[in-house]
Structure 1
Amino acid sequence: MSQSRRLRQHIAQMEDIRGILNSMKNLAFIETHKLLRFQSVQNQAVKAIEDAAMDFLSFHPYLLDTDVKAPHIVILIGSERGFCGDFNDSLINEIAPAAYSEDIILIGSRLANRWSDVYPEPVATLEGANVAEEVPAIVNRLLGAITSLQETRGFFELSAVYHDNTLSRPTHQPLLPPFQQTVQERPRFAFPPLLNLDPADFFADMVEHYLFAVLHKLCYTSLMAENHRRLQHLDGAVLHLDNETAKLHRKFQMRRQEEITEEIEVILLNAENL
């Protein structure tokens, strides 16, 4: 096989790969626009619960028992798919200093694959979401894991580490105990809210609803950041392929010109011999 033919086959392979990467980039772009709607609705739901909690806790505050050292569990929200750069490695590097002293829940197969054996084994490992529609199922499984840990360990502090599109490094957010930053010194209203439940029962139900809503919010936010990283990563890959393909085209043209020149020389030599 001539070198020009091999170059032509290589160019065709590069163009096929570029088409696949470009399709993946388009899917990530579509997913980010879809996630914007999910994220907006979920942010409003979390904000409504936090406002209700602020009004409730202004008249029914609760105090943490600071004398009891509660264990700490961290939810690490990674990716289920690849092509997103250092998305998972940066999460592991962020939590590495505390990985030996805190229990970890991993979300995302790619993140679990990157988890080193030198760290303690996670207390739970869950699959992550590929698309926005899979987030509710992921949250239900995560809540099931949290409930199982509460039944065996009792009270513990819970936080999440995840990627936010607006920040360059992973974000830490405390989840349990909840509403640590919502209580104001002065209540917004002069009269306490009217409750149909005992305050303790109402607070317990509100924490359950809050945890359900905020975990959805964090998963949507993480999936948005993941697809944004994927867009950047695939953009770079497509640009690199375009540059390499352009070099191969130039090399192919030069080699083809050399082969044509060689063929002409052979024809002229044969003509002279005749």
Structure 2
Amino acid sequence: MTERLAETTRRIRSVQQLDAVVTAMRGISASRVQQAHALLQGVRAHAAIIGRAIGQALPLLPDNHDATTIRAGRRALILFCAEQGFAGAFSDRMLEAARVTANSQDLFLIGSRGGGLAVERRLRLFWHAPMVPHANLVAVLAGRIADALYAWLADRPGPRVDVMVPIWSAAGGVAAERRSLLPFDFRRFAVKASGQAPLTTLPPARLLARLAEEYVFAELCEAALTAFAAENEARVATMLGAKGNLETMLTDLQVLERQIRQEEITAEVVELASSAGARRSA
């Protein structure tokens, strides 16, 4: 019985240590979510400014110039998956959403954990990169994605590029949202008539090309930040579930420990009573 009590006590300590680790992981992930959401506001504000600049620059083009060129060609998909584990079915859902078109598209995948699962599923990756460890490094990641993407675009006529972004909700968990990235559609930017044309130092076509590149970069930053936040939100939810299970396990073990102690005390009392009775009989 003493060995049983020692084993139960050891298990209680192990559960308590694991609970401390889970609590720390949940706190770190929650902090990363807050940081990502704060940075998202700035990224979206930046994209809105670039969008207004595009709208103001579009009227500078000659009437015979078509700013929207949409052709059929090779397709690419930028897919965001989990970088680390303990995020539930995060990567599985993203890979499942991409599986329908993965064979007909070149796959750009971000996330080490998701990359490993993609290999297990025999998905061919055209390009792969890990997710950044901190939200303030997302601009570096977006630059790497853009460089790889423009290198891919160089020798492909009429390409089309989509982004698969994970969106987190407390009710439904992670869901994949498909966004069109290229070809760049200038028609989505409202052109408002203005009494004064903007001052420019570049030819209109070149100016719009650079603004489009900057807007694509902003969209990649937003997608990466959204994915970064979604992965950490999924991890927070997973850690909350784990903490609940650990608390239940700890309660059961503590009840068992008290029962074993009670049984030991009862056995000792019975043994003492038997010894006293034997001495009186003698």
Equivalent pairs, count? 272
Deviations 1:53-99 (A, max 9, x none): 22323553635455x42211010011211222111111111111111
Q: Which residue of 2 aligns with 1:265?
A: 270
8 Å CA contact 1:53, 1:179 repeated in 2: no
Q: Which residue of 2 aligns with 1:174?
A: 180
What is the aligned counterpart of 2:108 among 105, 112, 117? Answer: 105
Distance 2:77 2:208 in 1: 23
Give the Å deviation of 1:192. Answer: 4.5
TM-score by length of 1: 0.91
The one-letter amino acid paired with 2:45 is: Q
1:62 is aligned to 2:63: no
What is the aligned counterpart of 1:71 among 58, 74, 80? Answer: 74
Distance 1:43 1:107 in 2: 21
Q: Which residue of 2 aligns with 1:126?
A: 129
Q: Which residue of 2 aligns with 1:233?
A: 238
Q: Which residue of 1 aligns with 2:260?
A: 255
Paired residues for 1:20-59 under 5 Å: 20-59=21-60
Q: Which residue of 2 aligns with 1:215?
A: 220
Segments of structure 1 that go 5 or more residues without pairing to the other structure are none
Distance 2:206 2:132 in 1: 33
Deviations 1:123-169 (A, max 9, x none): 10111122213322222221221122123435521111011246952
Alpha-carbon spacing, 1:215–1:8, altered in 2? closer, same or farther (3 Å): same
8 Å CA contact 2:68, 2:187 repeated in 1: no
Q: Which residue of 2 aligns with 1:17?
A: 18
What is the aligned counterpart of 1:144 among 124, 127, 147? Answer: 147
Give the Å deviation of 1:176. Answer: 1.0
Paired residues for 1:79-94 under 5 Å: 79-94=82-97
Three-state SS of the structure 2 residue aligned to 1:83 is coil
Distance 1:118 1:164 in 2: 23
Deviations 1:204-248 (A, max 9, x none): 211221122221111111111121111111111101100111011
8 Å CA contact 1:25, 1:231 repeated in 2: yes
Alpha-carbon spacing, 1:249–1:181, altered in 2? closer, same or farther (3 Å): farther
**Rg larger in 1 or in 2?**
2
Deviations 1:155-194 (A, max 9, x none): 521111011246952111111112455244x634355534
The one-letter amino acid paired with 2:78 is: I
Give the Å deviation of 1:41. Answer: 0.6
Distance 1:72 1:233 in 2: 34
Distance 1:240 1:173 in 2: 37
Alpha-carbon spacing, 1:117–1:260, altered in 2? closer, same or farther (3 Å): closer
RMSD value over aligned CA atoms? 2.1
